[in-house]
Structure 1
Amino acid sequence: MDKMRTTGTGYEAREPEKFSRFLYRQKVVFLVAFVGYVCAYLVRNNFKLMSKDMIEVYGWNKLNVAFLLTCFTVTYGLGKFFMGALADRVSLRKLFAGALGMSALLCIAIGFTRQFAVIAILLILTGLIQGALAPSSQAMIANYFPNKSRGGAIAGWNVSQNVGSAMLPLIIGVLGVAAPGNISLAFIVPGVMVLLLAFLMWKLGGDNPEAEGLNSLKEMYGDEGEPNVGEDSDTTLSYWTLIKKYVFLNPGILLVGFINAALYFVRFGVEDWMPIYLSHEAGFSDAQFLTAISVLEWVAVPGSFLFAWLAVKFANKMTIIGAIGLFLMAGLIFYYETIHNTGGSSYAQLLIVSGLLGTLIYGPQLIVNILTLNFVPLKVAGTALGFVGLMAYMLGNLGSNWLMPILADNLSWTASYMVVAALSALSGIGYLTLSRRERKAVKVHETNNDD
């Protein structure tokens, strides 16, 4: 936290009590955003994890499941944009906690029905409501963290999705032991847990320091407080003019959006197709590929912390770090696709490669959120995050859902993964083209010591 105390205005000395209160609220707001987003995953992936059991018990088929997954994916992408725009207009604290509570209620409702049409409607609503959680939680962090530490805070927050993704299967596994065959509990129990925590988020969350009688980041830190992307005259512009200028017509944000779409293709192209590829093509057993998937998620946590540390150490050089990671990813994908041809040692290699994939998928991806916040004024941060998220799901996620199997069926899995590798490399090039813009937008006090 000492790193966060550096100011260019001497504010800490002039207002020590206010600054101390600000640092306390900074920690609390981060914890609310982190824990709240862990909770988001506890009421998001329930259907995906229970789909196999629902096919067997409810008499569905794979197309039923694919349709329901698409219901969530499409509406979640749209929800990210529209709810992100709403986050710039309403209380972040209330939107975040309210959306979390509503997500929990929808999750509980799914546990009380077997009707396909009803579940489809509930998943559509879940996608729209959950779309508010990432933009509002990241915007909260952006409003409380200056340039020097914002990237590290966002990177640390990003680990919450891995924690939530890893916790939910454990919770469902325990429930499965306690009550075998009871699908409803997998929705109801996590939903009740999150609903109770949502009340805590409502009480402890924050909008911005000014709303609490504190000074703005600009007043406390000077040019090192907020992204240097706006102009003085922008204060008189309407909200819609601001988002047109800084989101829809902002070359930096548009490029970040396309990079994010490519990264989501890479992420879901690897993760979603690991079970089928590793079992049908590579010949690994169920236990082996499930272990590999678990290793990918768990190693992604320390891997993301590594990128969080780099984000603090090199606050305005994240584009270069991301590019290096993505070039390494492109090479790793080539190796991943041939690993089953290496004989008896292939499983050990698979586990190592899976861990590296987790780090190189989530590390460069979290940089997207950092750059998005650095390239827009904070007053339109929610809209920018939602817009970039919309591109990710509508282009990247849906693209991997359809293109990967089409290429695999008509050409080969090698062709599918060559597309993944190419998109990884192109994303790295995209990052490099943004490095100059990043240095211009993010002013930090750089020294060679450890202050």
Structure 2
Amino acid sequence: MSTKEPSGYELDDLDLDPADDENQQSEEYRRRNPEKFATYLKRRMVVFAVAYVGYVCAYLVRNNFKLTSKILRDENGWDNVQIGLILTAFTLTYGFAKFFMGMVVDRLSLRRVFAGALAISAVICILLGFVHVFWLMFALMLLLGTVQGALAPGSMAMIANWYPNKTRGSGIAIWNTSQNLGGATLPIIISGLLGVVGPSNVAYAFWVPGVVVLLFSFVAWKFGGDTPKSEGLGSLTDIYGKAGEPQVEDTPDEPYWTTLRKHIFTSPVILTVAFVNAILYFLRFGILNWMPIFLGDEMGFNEAQYSMAFSILEWIAIPGCFFFAWVAVKLPNKQSIVGAAGLVLLAGLIWLYMGNHDYALLLVISGLMGTFIYGPQLIINILTLNVVPLRTAGVAVGFVGLFGYIVGEMAANLVMPILAEALDWTASFTLLSFFALVGAALYLSLRKREQKIVQA
């Protein structure tokens, strides 16, 4: 039976077990501060909405050049090397910026940094629509990668600071679908715009998304949130006891760089998580980036078929991530086991993928690969936030993300084609399958440490 409170929410909303000491503390807090607790729950929903929609918006002003690169190449007389250099400019600065911007996020207002980065990204995107000079386009993409580096740490840190241990994982898991939604929506927007104004007016592919995101940045500035404590609602520990925050030994008064050295740079847990993330990016981009060439040249599928397989992989990843979100609620301190299971299944799917010539089965395999690529990847985000003090959440996300982009994606772009040229594509995808199993083993190595840190 649920107990109705004057503030209009129910005891069941807390997912409490009255026999549990930590949950008894949160129940006591709720009874002592019914209005504050009701406000906290409402603000938590708003903050999550800002973080989620904001990261969808991040993708609306991120891949515009990539999706219009062929038109811009022909229009401006550039060659493929120049296009590659412009794309690499974003990847390099974005990878490093996720780490350095994570420090900025931890030290300044989450709300302001996140909203400001969205606004600047939108302005850069609008400016890109006016540019026809190679070096200027290259410089703007360097700048865009730098600014966008603040968005993932900022949005995830917002969620981490508002959600307790038991629901932080599900919040991050649902947030993770924002990248799929944003990545899948932008091509539709650009195709629709160019269908109306014509491909000769490619600038609209930058201007329209840029204006939309610029407008939302004002919403993020007004309604985003830093922490419940900063709004007078108490900390997560005040509200939920030990079940509120990761139980990591932390000395708030110690120097910031000492905290980073202890909990980030020399932490065996974070270093393991970072290596798993590098493997996951290698798997993700090793499959996605080479899907057209492998399926078209090697497996005999036509453009429409491999384009559909690519799309299916991204779209099915969304309900797949919601499934992992449900599992995160059921197993809040067993995420390492869930991630390992997903990678073992992915290893088997890669073997099916590289030997399949049936189109219908290709779509099924692609959808499942999307689930087991992005599912274990969101587990990385959950683990990262669960094993560090919340005041270092931003830099932890950035540090782990640095390994993903600089090690994982770069390896996917270089190792896969080199191995395919030297041997064949079977060798390249066999390597992917092997690393999926290595990632699963690394996940399992975190099991005991995770259960010690995350009390739910």
Name the TM-score class by shorter chain.
Answer: over 0.9
Aligned twin of 1:372: 384
Match of 1:273 among 290, 313, 316: 290
C-alpha displacement of 1:11:
1.2
Aligned residue in 2 for 1:148: 166
1:397-431 deviations in whole A, cap 9, x for unaligned? 11111111111111101111111111111001100
Does residue 1:194 correspond to 2:210, yes or no?
no
In structure 2, the partner of 1:311 is 328
Alignment of 1:398-437 (within 5 A): 398-437=410-449
Partner of residue 3, structure 2: none
1:439 lines up with 2:444 in the alignment: no
Instruction: Map 1:115-154 onto structure 2 (within 5 A).
Output: 115-154=133-172
Q: Retained in 2: the 8 A contact 1:4–1:149?
A: no
Q: 2:255 — aligned with what?
A: 238
Corresponding position of 2:61: 43
How far residue 5 of structure 1 moved from its aligned partner, in angstroms, is 5.2
Find the aligned partners of 2:440 and 2:79 in 1 and give their Cα distance: 39
1:321 paired with 2:342, answer: no
Structure 1 residue 381 corresponds to structure 2 residue 397 = no
Which residue, out of 259, 266, 271, partners 1:254?
A: 271
The answer to whether the Cα contact below 8 Å between 1:4 and 1:148 also exists between their aligned partners in 2 is: no
Query: RMSD in angstroms over aligned alpha carbons?
Result: 1.0
One-letter amino acid of the counterpart of residue 67, structure 1: L
Secondary structure at 1:93 match in 2: helix
Matched with 1:358 is 370
For 1:60 and 1:419, how far apart are their aligned partners in 2? 34
Other-structure match for 1:114 = 132
Deviations 1:128-176 (CA, angstroms, capped at 9, x unpaired): 0000000010000000000000000000000000000111011001101
> Residue 350 of structure 2 aligns with which residue?
333
- Give the 3-state SS of the residue equivalent to 1:339 in structure 2: coil
User: Could you tell me how far apart the structure 1 residues matched to 2:77 and 2:105 are?
Assistant: 40
Q: 1:52 aligns with which of 62, 70, 75?
A: 70
Q: Encode CA deviations 1:264-285: one digit per residue, 9 max, x unaligned.
A: 0000000111111111111111
Structure 2 residue corresponding to 1:163, chosen from 170, 176, 181: 181
Q: Which amino acid counterpart does residue 215 of structure 1 have in structure 2?
A: G
* AA in 1 matched with 2:297: H
In structure 2, the partner of 1:448 is none
Shift of 1:3: 4.8
* Structure 1 residue 94 displacement after superposition: 0.2
Q: How much has 1:60 moved relative to structure 2?
A: 1.8
Structure 1 SS opposite 2:356: helix
Distance 2:300 2:207 in 1: 37
How far off its partner does 1:56 sit? 2.0
Between the aligned residues of both structures, percent identity stands at 54
Contact 1:149 1:312 in 2 (8 A): yes
Distance 1:58 1:285 in 2: 29
Using the size of structure 1 for normalisation, the TM-score is 0.96
Residue identity in the other structure for 1:25: R
How far apart are the structure 1 equivalents of 2:79 and 2:14?
53
Give yes or no for the alignment of 1:18 onto 2:36: yes
User: In structure 2, which of residues 309, 318, 321 is the aligned counterpart of residue 292 of structure 1?
Assistant: 309
Q: Residues 382-401 of structure 1: CA distance to partner in whole angstroms, max 9, x if unpaired?
A: 11110000111110011111
Code of the residue aligned with 2:188 in structure 1: it is: L
Equivalent residue, structure 1, for 2:204: 185
Q: Secondary structure at the match of 2:301?
A: coil
- How far apart are the structure 2 equivalents of 1:41 and 1:3? 33
Where structure 2 has 5 or more consecutive residues not aligned to the other structure, the ranges are: 1-9, 17-22
Q: Is residue 142–residue 378 contact of structure 1 (8 Å, CA) maintained in 2?
A: yes
CA contact (8 A) 1:111 1:186 kept: yes
Q: Secondary structure at the match of 1:8?
A: helix
Residue 245 (structure 2) pairs with residue 226 (structure 1): yes
Q: Which residue identity does 1:390 align to in structure 2?
A: L
TM-score norm. by structure 2 comes to: 0.95
Matched AA of 1:186: A
Distance 1:4 1:62 in 2: 55
CA distance 1:24–1:204, shift in 2 (3 Å)? same
Which among 227, 241, 263 is matched to residue 208 of structure 1? 227
The number of aligned residues is 437
In the TM superposition, structure 1's runs of 4+ consecutive aligned residues that sit over 4 Å from their partners are none
Alignment of 1:22-37 (within 5 A): 22-37=40-55
The letter of the residue matching 2:242 is D
Secondary structure of residue in 1 paired with 2:248: coil
